[in-house]
């Protein structure tokens, strides 16, 4: 028993030990965790929009150790979201205010201060095959374009260009490839995405398309180009609001584009391609510093403010720190830089101030001249960054006054430069105003050639290239610095800035000597005036950029401008001259961006230099009064002695001093408006095969002659008048072939100089109308004298619910990024060379096996090249438009306009834009020996006659290809045989009748002789045998038959020799014979 008791004891002791150990372990493993040890999450939303909230330990070491894990509980509705400036406390499911240094969008998320592509963002670059030659297959189909996009090596398109993260923002940098940015969006309710962006000034060189697809990869909303403004964005039929909203933000060119997105999974793509690679420069960058996405469920935490910004509590955005301050990430305030440091706006740190140099100062001259001298002082260029005391105080001096600008003189009382009387005076030296010579008038305007002080009409400013949401204006002052004989861009320490110089022409333009007077429409041949600028650029690399822009000063035409010049890289000194074709008030702006400014790493030594800036014929067209000053006086072409007024000659007329009257320019010439318009030398000859009817401009009649290529004496005659009053449209090869919308280039051209429609527009099939975007920023495409232009055509579609149970897709074609190629036809010739431009065999599709005799007959229409001021470095002679009218005798019905198969995008080199028009009207008219006549069979007494040209020629209107004549079913040969047979029958019948009558008469007489008796005195008509041969040779023997006393007698007369011997005897016998004949009565 003891043993057993001990045994039982020994068995119980281990159990108690184990239980104690287990209880100890449980107390260690299962403990109460704090709320900070858990993170809270929502389950997926169900069909009713409900969900559960559950807690999960933050650390893996706490798994299974917390005894107080919260139980899942009902969560907030999926559509719930906090207001802006608040975040959702997941534990309490209550909205809390964001602390200072942070911000919240409520139900949205903001992407800024980019360091890498955010999650859900992706970029794809692929080749643009629009310039790849099109190969014709045996079945007649073409290759290239869409299918050829995969044939080029992927390494051709680098991922270092296109859409990239650069300088803390998302950017599109120029690339020859197509770059597509894709953003994946999953919204729990309808929301929107908003881009804060800035397009380059030369945005017409780019085509940008935004496209939204749902989870089924179906497009919805409007596909729109970034160049179109909100005024003409059509809504879907089922919605009253636009899918796109675009508004200006600030004054630095930044805009906010809001795109509405539906709930669910969506994919937004922003595709950009170079519409005109020859006009695209390295500075043509799209800046996207911020992207907001709304429509998310909630914001579980506030976002810290980026470096260089700050915020107060409950903020929905962060404000930028001003210049001279800085801040780190999540800062509630900006800190001041020390005395020896400086910073720009939105700075994350301060930089040490550099020592001053002479370029950090600029001179300020007084505009008042007293006693022939003026004071000169020096100040630092703002923002004042450098440190070196004393220079601005020590460099104060007086200098001798310089002369005023041309057209001005210095007032002796005030010492200021004043304009001369614009109606009668001029000043070519800027010292003294002089009267114009007799019969001449001053040419008023602004003629700035001396830059000791800034003229009153000139102002300078700057703007940041990168955004500044704090609203701080660029404080570089002055942005341009006068240096007596020139004005230069400031060498400021500020980075990422564009330095601008503006010349404001408030009155407008008035030219009293303009051809045709006030009623004549301004054009390039007859402009209101001219602007010229003498400029030079010194740059570190090709990324520096200069734009020369003409802006309209009109409330209804805000932000409308023409890009007169777009230059990049170092440029030698040269003069650009540009005609002014509008009389409205205008402002001319020169904007210069230094190398590296897009990355805020400006080359401080880069500068643009302007030596002269001249604008002619300034005045108020309403009051017919000139303003400004005149540098020269223009001789009046038509002076009225009575009124002492100058009147312009009629259109196309010049003044003849000898006859003292206006005379029209001879045929084939036009008046040169840049000349004095006095004398016959003012008329210039028109281009090849062009003529002039009114003497003011050269035009193409359509009828002309060219020498024959085979050196024959006959010239080739052409008649292209059927092609008059037509606009030819040629379409290029499509790109964007991988997915989504494609785009292609369209060319519109008129061969006879008629104005064509050349605007940014889009057509809608559902409304049956065309809407033009009058908000386009480049007004050059809206002129009414354009004859050759190019635009990017984007086939788009919108899907809208017409009824609750059905949906229709309405097709559209958007025409954007319109570029004017020419406004004037200058020559029609078979010569392939025009000035510095040449049409290559590749452009004309000439095979190397073709000889000059086997090549098609081509007529080349050369249009006026682009203004020299618009050229870039890759096209030193500018750009030109050419149309080749190709002879195709088979193209009888309608001409075919197309692009070269070797250059399917319309240009091979970016400088020559080439369109081919195939038509029978481009063939020479046939000469009589050039065609063959073929007659058809006679059917129903009608015969068709075909004229087949034997060469590349066509028949004129008088020589129709097909004629009809009346005919007979019996051929000519049959008719001839019948006629011969008829004649033979008639002749045979006549012969038979004649012989029959003679035989009958002889028979009758013979019978009478047989029945009658011998006459008394009868000579035998028989011949002796020996005399037979002799008598047979006797000619003219005559036999007479008669009747005497009821008896027949016969008389024989021999040859004349015999008659002569017995003439008397014969006469007696004849007389006796006749006297014995019975009377007929």
pLDDT band with cut points at 50, 70 and 90 for residue 913: very high
pLDDT reported for residue 263: 87
Judge contact between 674 and 540, C-beta under 8 A: no
Tell me how far the alpha carbon of residue 855 is from its chain's centroid. Answer: 30
Lowest mean pLDDT among 38-47, 516-525, 936-945: 516-525
pLDDT reported for residue 878: 78
Distance CA 473, CA 344 (A): 11
pLDDT reported for residue 178: 84
Q: What is the mean pLDDT of residues 754-761?
A: 76
pLDDT reported for residue 984: 92
736 has a pLDDT exceeding 70: no
pLDDT band with cut points at 50, 70 and 90 for residue 202: low
676 has a pLDDT exceeding 80: no
Report the range out of 115-119, 272-276, 960-964 with the highest average pLDDT: 115-119
pLDDT reported for residue 113: 83
Residue scoring higher pLDDT (373 or 448): 448
3-state secondary structure at position 154: helix
Report the range out of 279-293, 420-434, 917-931, 1047-1061 with the highest average pLDDT: 420-434
pLDDT reported for residue 147: 36
pLDDT reported for residue 418: 92
Average pLDDT, the chain: 77
Distance CA 473, CA 757 (A): 40
Nearest to 89 by CA among 32, 44, 38: 38
Bridge partner residues of 748 (DSSP): 729, 789
Would you list the DSSP string of 403-431?
P--TTEEE-TTT--EEE--TTTEE-SSSS
Distance CA 547, CA 869 (A): 10
Side-by-side strand order, sheet with 962-966: 931-939, 942-949, 962-966
439 has a pLDDT exceeding 60: yes
Q: What is the mean pLDDT of residues 142-170?
A: 61
3-state secondary structure at position 151: coil
Instruction: Say how many C-beta atoms besides its own lie within 10 A of residue 876's C-beta.
Output: 10
Would you list the DSSP string of 242-255?
-SEEEEEETTTTEE
pLDDT reported for residue 136: 41
Contacts of 324 (CB under 8 A, 6+ apart): 336, 337, 342, 343
960 has a pLDDT exceeding 60: no
Buried b (16+ CB within 10 A) or exposed e, 512-531: bbbbbeeeeebbbbbbbbbb
3-state secondary structure at position 1040: strand
156 has a pLDDT exceeding 80: no
Lowest mean pLDDT among 117-126, 146-155, 189-198, 918-927: 146-155
3-state secondary structure at position 299: coil
391 has a pLDDT exceeding 70: no
Distance CA 663, CA 655 (A): 6
Report residue 1053: phi and psi, to 5°: -115, 130
Residue scoring higher pLDDT (479 or 155): 479
pLDDT reported for residue 956: 65
Bridge partner residues of 590 (DSSP): 501, 548
pLDDT reported for residue 230: 31
Terminal alpha carbon distance of the chain = 212
pLDDT reported for residue 9: 40
Judge contact between 52 and 42, C-beta under 8 A: yes
Q: What is the mean pLDDT of residues 188-211?
A: 80
Lowest mean pLDDT among 700-704, 726-730, 756-760, 915-919: 756-760
3-state secondary structure at position 86: strand
pLDDT reported for residue 282: 59
Distance CA 369, CA 832 (A): 60
Question: Where do runs of H (alpha helix) occur along 230-388?
Answer: none
pLDDT reported for residue 875: 73
Q: Where are the domains of the chain?
A: 2-77, 79-107+302-352, 110-301, 370-397, 452-633, 928-969, 1012-1022+1033-1075
pLDDT reported for residue 336: 95
Side-by-side strand order, sheet with 896-898: 825-829, 858-863, 880-887, 912-919, 896-898
Q: Characterize the bridge pairing of strands 880-887 and 912-919.
A: parallel
pLDDT band with cut points at 50, 70 and 90 for residue 1070: low
Distance CA 822, CA 1077 (A): 115
- Asked whether the domain spanning 452-633 has the same topology as the one spanning 110-301, the reply is yes
3-state secondary structure at position 811: strand
Give 531-541 pLDDT, tens digit per residue: 999 999 999 98
Distance CA 106, CA 181 (A): 26
pLDDT band with cut points at 50, 70 and 90 for residue 404: very high
99 has a pLDDT exceeding 70: yes
pLDDT reported for residue 693: 82
1060 has a pLDDT exceeding 70: no
Q: Which CATH number fits domain 452-633: 3.40.50, 2.60.40, 2.60.120, 2.40.128?
A: 2.60.120
3-state secondary structure at position 253: coil
Q: What is the mean pLDDT of residues 704-728?
A: 84
Distance CA 614, CA 450 (A): 11
Buried b (16+ CB within 10 A) or exposed e, 621-643: eeeeebbbbbbbbbbbbbbeeee
Judge contact between 114 and 131, C-beta under 8 A: no
Element of type H or E holding 1006:
helix 972-1011
Residue scoring higher pLDDT (793 or 419): 419
pLDDT reported for residue 809: 41
pLDDT band with cut points at 50, 70 and 90 for residue 978: confident
Contacts of 812 (CB under 8 A, 6+ apart): 223, 762, 763, 764, 765, 795, 796, 797, 798
Topology given in CATH for the domain delimited by 110-301: Jelly Rolls (2.60.120)
pLDDT band with cut points at 50, 70 and 90 for residue 764: very low
Q: What is the mean pLDDT of residues 607-633?
A: 91
Percent pLDDT > 90 in the chain is 21
pLDDT reported for residue 145: 39
Contacts of 232 (CB under 8 A, 6+ apart): 771, 772, 773, 774, 775
Report residue 757: phi and psi, to 5°: -75, 125
pLDDT band with cut points at 50, 70 and 90 for residue 915: very high
pLDDT band with cut points at 50, 70 and 90 for residue 869: very low
365 has a pLDDT exceeding 90: no
Lowest mean pLDDT among 18-27, 353-362, 1000-1009: 18-27
Q: What is the mean pLDDT of residues 839-844?
A: 89
Using CA atoms, how far residue 839 sits from 223, 731, 908, 911, 921, in Å, is 37, 20, 10, 11, 22
Judge contact between 607 and 432, C-beta under 8 A: no
Tell me how far the alpha carbon of residue 425 is from its chain's centroid. Answer: 44
Contacts of 891 (CB under 8 A, 6+ apart): 918, 919, 920
pLDDT band with cut points at 50, 70 and 90 for residue 874: low
Q: What is the mean pLDDT of residues 397-403?
A: 86
Judge contact between 945 and 964, C-beta under 8 A: yes
Q: What is the mean pLDDT of residues 881-898?
A: 88
Judge contact between 932 and 947, C-beta under 8 A: yes
pLDDT band with cut points at 50, 70 and 90 for residue 767: very low
Judge contact between 280 and 274, C-beta under 8 A: yes
């Amino acid at each position: 028993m003891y043993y057993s008791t001990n045994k039982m004891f020994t068995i119980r002791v281990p159990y108690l030990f184990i239980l104690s150990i287990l209880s100890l372990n449980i107390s260690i493993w299962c403990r109460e965790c704090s709320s900070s040890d858990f993170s809270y999450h929502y389950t997926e939303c169900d069909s009713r929009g409900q969900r559960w909230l559950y807690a999960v330990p933050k650390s893996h070491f706490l798994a299974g150790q917390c005894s107080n894990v919260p139980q899942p509980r009902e969560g907030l509705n999926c559509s719930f979201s906090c207001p802006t400036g608040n975040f959702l406390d997941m534990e309490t499911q209550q909205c809390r205010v964001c602390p200072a240094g942070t911000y919240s969008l409520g139900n949205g998320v903001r992407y800024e201060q980019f360091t890498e592509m955010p999650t859900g963002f992706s970029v794809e670059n692929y080749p643009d095959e629009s310039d790849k030659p099109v190969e014709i297959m045996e079945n007649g189909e073409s290759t290239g374009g869409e299918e050829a996009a995969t044939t080029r090596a992927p390494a051709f398109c680098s991922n270092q260009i296109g859409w990239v993260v650069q300088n803390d923002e998302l950017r599109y940098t120029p690339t020859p490839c197509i770059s597509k940015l894709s953003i994946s969006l999953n919204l729990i309710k309808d929301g929107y995405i908003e881009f804060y962006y800035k397009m380059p000034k030369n945005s017409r060189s780019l085509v940008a398309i935004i496209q939204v697809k749902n989870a089924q990869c179906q497009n919805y909303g409007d596909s729109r180009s970034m160049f179109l403004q909100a005024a003409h964005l059509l809504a879907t039929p089922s919605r009253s609001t636009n899918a796109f909203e675009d508004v200006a933000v600030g004054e630095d060119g930044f805009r906010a584009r809001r795109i509405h997105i539906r709930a669910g999974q969506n994919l937004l793509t922003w595709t950009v391609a170079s519409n005109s690679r020859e006009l695209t420069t390295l500075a043509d960058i799209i800046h996207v510093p911020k992207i907001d996405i709304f429509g998310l469920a909630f914001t579980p935490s506030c976002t810290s403010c980026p470096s260089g910004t700050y915020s107060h509590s409950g903020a929905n955005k962060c404000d930028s720190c001003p210049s001279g301050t800085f801040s780190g990430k999540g800062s509630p305030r900006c800190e001041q830089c020390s005395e020896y440091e400086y910073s720009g706006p939105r700075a994350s740190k301060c930089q040490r101030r550099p020592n001053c140099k002479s370029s950090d100062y600029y001179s300020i001259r007084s505009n008042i001249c007293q006693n022939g001298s003026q004071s000169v002082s020096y100040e630092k260029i703002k923002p004042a960054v450098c440190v070196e005391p004393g220079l601005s105080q020590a460099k104060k001096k007086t200098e001798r006054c310089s002369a005023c600008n041309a057209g001005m003189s210095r007032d002796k009382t005030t010492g200021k430069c004043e304009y001369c009387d614009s109606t009668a005076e001029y000043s070519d030296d800027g010292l003294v105003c002089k009267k114009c010579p007799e019969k001449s008038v001053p040419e008023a305007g602004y003629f700035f050639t001396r830059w000791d002080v800034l003229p009153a009409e000139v102002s300078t400013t700057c703007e940041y290239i990168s955004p500044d949401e704090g609203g701080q204006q660029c404080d570089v002052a002055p942005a341009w610095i006068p240096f007596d004989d020139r004005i230069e861009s400031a060498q400021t320490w500020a980075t990422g800035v564009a330095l601008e110089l503006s010349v404001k022409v408030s009155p407008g333009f008035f030219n009293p000597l303009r051809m045709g007077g006030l009623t004549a429409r301004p054009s390039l041949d007859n402009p209101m005036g001219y602007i010229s600028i003498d400029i030079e650029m010194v740059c570190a690399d090709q990324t520096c950029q200069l734009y020369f822009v003409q802006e309209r000063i009109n409330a209804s035409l805000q932000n409308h401008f023409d890009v007169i010049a777009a230059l990049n890289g170092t440029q030698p000194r040269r003069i650009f001259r540009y005609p002014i074709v509008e009389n409205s008030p205008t402002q001319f702006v020169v904007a210069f961006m230094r190398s590296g400014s897009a990355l805020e790493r400006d080359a401080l030594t880069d500068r643009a230099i302007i030596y002269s800036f001249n604008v002619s014929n300034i005045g108020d067209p309403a009051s017919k009064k000139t303003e400004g000053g005149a540098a020269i006086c223009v001789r009046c072409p038509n002076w009225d002695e009575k009124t002492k007024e100058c009147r312009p000659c009629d259109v196309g007329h010049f003044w003849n001093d000898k006859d003292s009257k206006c005379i029209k320019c001879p045929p084939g010439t036009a008046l040169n408006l840049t000349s004095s318009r006095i004398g016959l030398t003012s008329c210039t000859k028109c281009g090849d095969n062009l003529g002039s009817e009114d003497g003011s401009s050269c035009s193409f009649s359509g009828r002309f002659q060219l020498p024959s290529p085979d050196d024959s004496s006959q010239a080739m005659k052409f008649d292209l008048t059927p092609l008059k009053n037509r606009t030819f449209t040629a379409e290029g090869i499509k790109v964007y072939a991988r997915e989504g919308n494609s785009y292609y280039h369209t060319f519109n051209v008129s061969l006879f100089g008629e104005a064509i429609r050349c605007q940014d527009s889009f057509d809608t099939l559902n409304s049956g109308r065309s809407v033009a975007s009058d908000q386009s920023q480049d007004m050059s495409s809206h002129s009414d004298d354009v004859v050759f232009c190019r635009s990017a055509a984007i086939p788009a579609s919108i899907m809208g619910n017409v009824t609750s149970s059905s949906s229709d897709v309405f097709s559209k074609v958007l025409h954007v990024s319109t570029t004017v190629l020419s406004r004037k036809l200058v020559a029609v010739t078979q010569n392939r060379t025009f000035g510095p431009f040449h049409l290559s065999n590749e452009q004309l599709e000439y095979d190397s096996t073709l000889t000059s005799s086997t090549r098609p007959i081509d007529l080349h229409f050369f249009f006026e090249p682009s203004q020299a001021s618009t050229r870039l470095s890759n096209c030193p002679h500018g750009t030109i438009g050419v149309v080749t009218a190709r002879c195709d005798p088979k193209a009888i019905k309608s001409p075919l306009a197309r692009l070269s198969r070797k250059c399917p995008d319309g240009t091979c080199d970016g400088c020559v834009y080439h369109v081919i028009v195939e038509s029978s009207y481009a063939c020479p008219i046939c000469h009589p020996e050039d065609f063959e006549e073929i007659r058809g069979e006679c059917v129903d007494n009608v015969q068709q006659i075909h004229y087949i040209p034997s060469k590349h020629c066509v028949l004129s209107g008088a020589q129709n290809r097909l004629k009809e004549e009346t005919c007979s079913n019996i051929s000519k040969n049959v008719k001839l045989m019948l006629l011969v047979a008829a004649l033979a029958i008639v002749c045979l019948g006549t012969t038979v009748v004649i012989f029959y009558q003679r035989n009958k008469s002889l028979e009758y007489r013979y019978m009478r002789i047989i029945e009658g008796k011998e006459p008394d005195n009868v000579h035998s008509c028989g011949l002796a045998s020996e005399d037979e041969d002799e008598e047979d040779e006797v000619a003219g023997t005559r036999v007479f038959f008669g009747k005497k006393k009821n008896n027949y007698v016969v008389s024989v007369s021999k040859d004349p020799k015999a008659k002569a011997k017995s003439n008397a005897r014969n006469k007696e016998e004849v007389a006796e014979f006749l006297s014995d004949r019975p009377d007929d009565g």
